[in-house]
Amino acid sequence: MLVKLGLAYRGIAEHMAIGARKITALDERLTTWGVALIGTDGPTQQDGKPVRLLYIGISSPDEAKAWGPFEFSGTREEVRKAAVVEALVRLHNTMSTRQGDKVSRVTEGIRRAYEELMGS
């Protein structure tokens, strides 16, 4: 699929998120959530896709979804940080929809991760 479609493709992000759950399994039990980011971060375009074009995939036991394309601006490092923050926001929103009140602990973790990424 990767060879056929290239790096920056929504379906690749979705499949990678599913794969993330599998490779982090413990005693053959899949982890609850998988998150993946894929795209072209340069320095030149790949597979005809522009630099800084990214997709985010999230997988749970019930479904896998992907979002994008996102086109972040800035340096390579700034684009990576923006993509991680966007992925954390998408994960939080997905978890909130699925798990309601159980998400408050995760929200605090996402806030701390965001602050660390952004150097706050």
User: What value, to the nearest 5°, has the Cα angle with vertex 29 and ends 62 and 96?
Assistant: 35
- CATH number of the domain that residue 97 is part of: 3.90.950.20
DSSP 8-state code for residue 24: T
Decide if 94 contacts 59 (C-beta within 8 A): no
Cis ω on the peptide bond leading into residue 69 (within 30° of 0)? yes
How far apart are alpha carbons 95 and 70 in whole angstroms? 21
Q: How many domains does the chain have?
A: 1
Q: Which domain holds residue 15?
A: 2-118
Q: Which residue has the higher pLDDT, 14 or 118?
A: 14
Q: Please give the model's pTM, rounded to 2 decimal places.
A: 0.75
Decide if 34 contacts 23 (C-beta within 8 A): no
Condensed to tens digits (0 to 9), the pLDDT of residues 15-53 reads: 999 999 999 988 888 888 999 999 876 666 666 666 678
Condensed to tens digits (0 to 9), the pLDDT of residues 79-111 reads: 888 899 899 889 888 887 766 555 556 666 666
